[in-house]
Amino acid sequence: MKRTPITLFVLLGVGLTLVLAFFVSPLASSAPDGLERVAIDQGFEGQATEHAMATGPLADYSVAGIHETWLSTGLSGVIGVVLCFALAAALVLAIRWVRRRPTVPTA
């Protein structure tokens, strides 16, 4: 039984993920999601307050300064994918690193 080596498996997975984030995310429905729909129908959507990051460079999955909507959404998706991969892998790496060294040097 021939197995895909894990490095290739992860690379293929990340590649597919980047394709989804860049090419498919601009096609996503922009209709309110389930919770937003309930909030609108039940009259409490007005309770939502301004998000502290609402004017941030990547707010609402768009890249500030890029006015081509699909490109802006697609690029924000790529940035999010890279960030999530790096942070989750770093977190697990850190957990393993700490476990291998029970006495963490107090730097």
Partner 1 sequence: MHIPDGFINAPTCVVGGVVAAGLIAVSVRKAAATLDDRQIPLAGLVAAFIFAVQMLNFPVAGGTSGHLLGGVLAAVLVGPWVGSLALSVVFAVQALVFADGGLTALGLNIILMGYTTCFGGYAVFLLVRKVLPKTATAVVGASAVAAWSGVVLASLVFTFYYAVGGTGGAPLGTVAMAMIGVHMLIGIGEAVITALTVSAVLSSRPDLVHGARDLRPALTIQTPAGAPAAGRAR
Which residues contact partner 1 (rule: CB under 8 A)?
3-4, 6-7, 9-10, 13-14, 16-18, 20-21, 24-25, 27-35, 37-39, 41-44, 46-54, 56, 58-61, 73, 76-77, 79-89, 91-93, 95-96, 98-99
CB of 57 to partner 1, least distance (A): 9
68 is written with which tokens?
A: 């081509």
The letter for the amino acid at 74 is: G
Contact 51, 59 (CB under 8 A): yes
DSSP letter (8 states) at residue 102: S
CB of 103 to partner 1, least distance (A): 15
The letter for the amino acid at 6 is: I
